């Protein structure tokens, strides 16, 4: 596989996390390439990743620079909310909410749920397309629970609320290296790289 790969995302927190994870595999993350925004309206994570990957691939081909690329879609699934917010995690509570408001909306939805019932998992689906158009997939999940209040300032998204199984700290209270040991993205990326290098 190419030792340089492009990511279909403008989320700087996600880009930084993937850059560090890719470096562990000896792969460089290419610069951000603007591509037409897509509506992430697929029924599952892989479908949304495919929409973003296709949009970035079309832009790279339009520029005459075919390259290996990948996209992800991930979400937080909470058992007490029947798996919500799930595939709609980045839009939970409404498109107009900033992340602090989105996390507050989630905590409000769980206000009557005791700690022992706040079990959850983060799930990530990755889809890569190489220069020849071949597709590869990788999936990863991390079980845990939702904290009663936000804790920590690192990470992004729901990280200040998520306590991975066996941990007393949220993802947002961990260093990037500590988070990578158990994160859903790290697990999905390992599976993706293995698939592409077979």
Neighbours of 49 (CB within 10 A): 26
Report d(CA 36, CA 77) in Å as an integer: 28
Interhelix angle 184-197/12-23, rounded to 10 degrees, is 50
- 73 in active site: yes
Q: Given 73, 79, 96, 130, which residue is catalytic?
A: 73
Which secondary structure element, helix H or strand E, spans residue 71, and what is its range? Answer: strand 69-78
Residue 49: which of 127, 106, 119, 134 has the closest Cα? Answer: 127
**Active site amino acids:** 73
């Amino acid at each position: 596989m190419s030792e340089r790969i492009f990511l279909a995302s403008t989320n700087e927190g996600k880009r930084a996390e993937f850059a560090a994870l890719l470096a562990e595999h000896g792969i460089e993350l290419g610069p951000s390439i603007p591509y037409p925004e897509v509506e992430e309206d697929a029924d599952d994570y892989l479908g949304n990743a495919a929409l973003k990957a296709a949009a970035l691939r079309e832009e790279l081909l339009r520029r005459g620079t075919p390259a290996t690329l990948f996209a992800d879609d991930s979400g937080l699934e909470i058992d007490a909310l029947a798996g919500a917010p799930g595939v709609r995690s980045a839009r939970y509570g409404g498109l107009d909410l900033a992340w602090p408001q989105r996390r507050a909306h989630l905590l409000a939805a769980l206000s009557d749920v005791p700690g022992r019932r706040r079990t959850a998992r983060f799930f990530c689906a990755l889809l890569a397309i190489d220069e020849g158009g071949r597709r590869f997939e990788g999936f990863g999940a991390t079980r845990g629970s939702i904290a009663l209040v936000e804790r920590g300032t690192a990470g992004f998204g729901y990280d200040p609320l998520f306590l991975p199984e066996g941990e007393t700290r949220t993802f947002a209270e961990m260093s990037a290296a500590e988070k990578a040991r158990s994160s859903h993205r790290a697990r999905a990326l390992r599976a993706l790289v293995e698939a592409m290098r077979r």
